[in-house]
Chains A and B, each alone.
Chain A
């Protein structure tokens, strides 16, 4: 049965995508521009046999979804700037404890309370580096209502496959835009479930990984008994101060993602094969970039667009490939400092002919803003 398409908001698509992926627990604290997700969860999760909790703050929200996830229930939260800042410490705990969960960060303008209802794309570095301690993360940035749905499903899949938190971070424009979309029928999109242990309950080790694989994760209440800790731990989940163990564990937290970047890194290319100018953009700005490129093509300029969907791990290989033959790269993003542009320079080297297009006033970048850089 395929449903007919209807106008759906980005935030609504995220909530529906989460339910589709099997999420049955949500804990959050209201904040614009993410609140619709909480409101939908409060109404819909009870009907699905799930639970919505409005917590006292975002620290509590993160704590609660970690606890819920460890009972075997796919769990998520949604927030924006200030709330995302408050989540960092407990988000790091999810990385350390290898707890699958999804965090939605609808990016809004800052610093601090900033232009509280206006869009921005300025959390890229916080997504990657917001927690103390060396660690890595998966972060995805959709640019349409369809991608909000599909990438939320994908985010849950990746979090379960790699036992790691995954962040979906659309800008406010994408979170609040409405587009026609037909929610896929069950089975149309793949849904991955947690790898559970199958051996004898006695001697189960929640961190006993092999090679670049993650260890199966049991659920509290099952026959398997286990420890999860924010402290450095051994295979058995108990705290462990051995330097060799620590080195192995930290490396594994990185490797399990780095060595599977092929499954994780997603981009979309538009007319990049023959392009002289490559525009790199994500989220709502990727759409602006496509409009600008189409306009430029009409004038005979060969412009291509590489839309970054996965932001972390950064699609450096994909950028290097897309830029082949181009004489110029334009990176358009809604922040002052050029957070993506810096990564592009890192990938292509300091000699690259790169132009930055930035907006940092809470307004979207227009095609005209980008077209200017094509001369």
Chain B
């Protein structure tokens, strides 16, 4: 079997990528475009909806339909696209600031509504685009440009939030394993209902160097060491305190998605109207 390259979806004239060397956005973009190819998506049937941030700029490199929106609101635009045309494959690209901080409420409700969207949240633990301030996923005590003596707030678990809010599919992977990441994106895209892939990714210019990971490779080593499957995580004595996190498929359900529920409601309304 020949391997997917995703090249047909890549806007080559926009290269080179704008991201810093060592940034995980390129790997994530590659994984996503390969996933499109594996699923044989037609470019005109895909709408990539992106927020604002470094990862939110990914649409500049993509040849499908795209909608580059406002900071934190990408899921709301995507919800409108999908509800108005359920045939489309709608993929939503957000950073941790975009998707889980300013846009946290929309994440909760897109998952609760079980909109048939695939959210790809690149979590680099800080606001890359604006110079590395802390976000809602920055771990406590981490150094950022607005927490020079250590973050006084706690970071929170995006996947846990999505699960609690009712997502049909949730997975977390790191950019240290691009092939696995692509596999998860394929699974997420194939799932009806709300799916979310959290991508743990290095910010090699801002977050890493400020937190004792001077070189890009240091962050890759860190995520390889700390990202472990659920079974291993549960065996570790002090997993959370020691900074471990679970990777892999975390949720896989088949609750009816919004569009399906809406259609059954529509038939109830029509029956009532007809019965009058």
Residues of chain A having any CB pair with chain B under 8 Å:
24-25, 27, 43, 46-47, 51, 53, 55-57, 59-73, 75, 89-90, 93, 97, 201, 219-231, 238-239
**Interface residues as binary, B59-79 with A (CB distance below 8 Å gives 1, 0 otherwise):** 110011111111001111111
Q: Is the interface of A mostly helix, strand, loop or mixed?
A: mixed
Q: A60-B106, A93-B69, A228-B67 are in contact. Are A222 and B80 (CB under 8 A)?
A: no
Q: Is the CB of A90 within 8 A of B70?
A: yes
Give the nearest-CB partner of A226 in chain B.
B65
Q: Is the CB of B80 within 8 A of A66?
A: yes
Q: Is the CB of B69 within 8 A of A63?
A: yes
Q: Is the CB of B67 within 8 A of A68?
A: no
Taking CB atoms, residues of chain A closer than 8 Å to B83 are: 25, 51, 53, 64, 68
Taking CB atoms, residues of chain B closer than 8 Å to A67 are: 49, 67, 76-82, 84
Distance, CA A221 to CA B87, complexed state (A): 8
Q: Is the CB of B80 within 8 A of A63?
A: yes
Taking CB atoms, residues of chain B closer than 8 Å to A63 are: 69-70, 73-77, 79-80, 106
Does B260 lie at the interface of the complex (its beta carbon under 8 Å from any beta carbon of A)? no
Taking CB atoms, residues of chain A closer than 8 Å to B82 are: 67
**Interface residues as binary, B96-122 with A (CB distance below 8 Å gives 1, 0 otherwise):** 000000000110110000000000000
Q: Is the CB of A71 within 8 A of B88?
A: yes
- Could you list 27 A-B pairs, sorted by A, with CB under 8 Å? A24-B84, A25-B83, A47-B266, A51-B83, A55-B76, A55-B79, A56-B105, A59-B76, A60-B76, A66-B77, A66-B80, A67-B82, A67-B84, A70-B81, A71-B80, A73-B84, A75-B84, A90-B70, A90-B73, A90-B76, A93-B69, A221-B65, A228-B67, A229-B66, A231-B68, A238-B11, A239-B57
The 5 closest A-B pairs by CB, nearest first: A67-B80, A63-B76, A64-B80, A68-B84, A229-B68
Interchain CB contact (< 8 A) of A225 among B43, B81, B87: B43
Q: How many A-B Cβ pairs are below 8 Å?
A: 144
Q: A64-B80, A221-B44, A239-B60 are in contact. Are A47 and B273 (CB under 8 A)?
A: yes
Interchain CB contact (< 8 A) of B80 among A68, A223, A238: A68
Distance, CA A62 to CA B66, complexed state (A): 18
Give the nearest-CB partner of B45 in chain A.
A221
Q: Beyond A97-B67, A220-B88: 5 further Cβ-contacts under 8 Å?
A: A56-B108, A64-B76, A221-B45, A227-B68, A228-B68
Taking CB atoms, residues of chain B closer than 8 Å to A64 are: 76-77, 79-80, 83
CB distance from B164 to the nearest CB of A (A): 16
Does B269 lie at the interface of the complex (its beta carbon under 8 Å from any beta carbon of A)? yes
Taking CB atoms, residues of chain A closer than 8 Å to B39 are: none
Distance, CA A60 to CA B45, complexed state (A): 23
Q: A53-B83, A67-B78, A71-B85 are in contact. Are A60 and B73 (CB under 8 A)?
A: yes
Does B265 lie at the interface of the complex (its beta carbon under 8 Å from any beta carbon of A)? yes
Distance, CA A24 to CA B85, complexed state (A): 12
Taking CB atoms, residues of chain B closer than 8 Å to A221 are: 44-45, 65, 85, 87-88
Give the nearest-CB partner of A231 in chain B.
B68
Distance, CA A57 to CA B74, complexed state (A): 14
CB distance from A220 to the nearest CB of B (A): 5
Residues of chain B having any CB pair with chain A under 8 Å:
11, 14, 43-45, 47, 49, 52, 57, 59-60, 63-70, 73-85, 87-88, 105-106, 108-109, 262, 265-266, 269-270, 273
Interchain CB contact (< 8 A) of A65 among B43, B73, B80: B80
Give the nearest-CB partner of B72 in chain A.
A59
Distance, CA A227 to CA B45, complexed state (A): 13
Distance, CA A59 to CA B72, complexed state (A): 10
Distance, CA A97 to CA B59, complexed state (A): 15
Distance, CA A4 to CA B142, complexed state (A): 70
Distance, CA A55 to CA B76, complexed state (A): 8
Taking CB atoms, residues of chain A closer than 8 Å to B88 are: 71, 220-221
Q: Is the CB of B109 within 8 A of A220?
A: no
Q: Is the CB of A71 within 8 A of B81?
A: yes
Taking CB atoms, residues of chain B closer than 8 Å to A71 are: 80-81, 84-85, 88
Q: Is the CB of A238 within 8 A of B76?
A: no
Q: Is the CB of A25 within 8 A of B43?
A: no
Interchain CB contact (< 8 A) of A51 among B47, B74, B84: B84
Taking CB atoms, residues of chain B closer than 8 Å to A60 are: 73, 76, 79, 106, 109
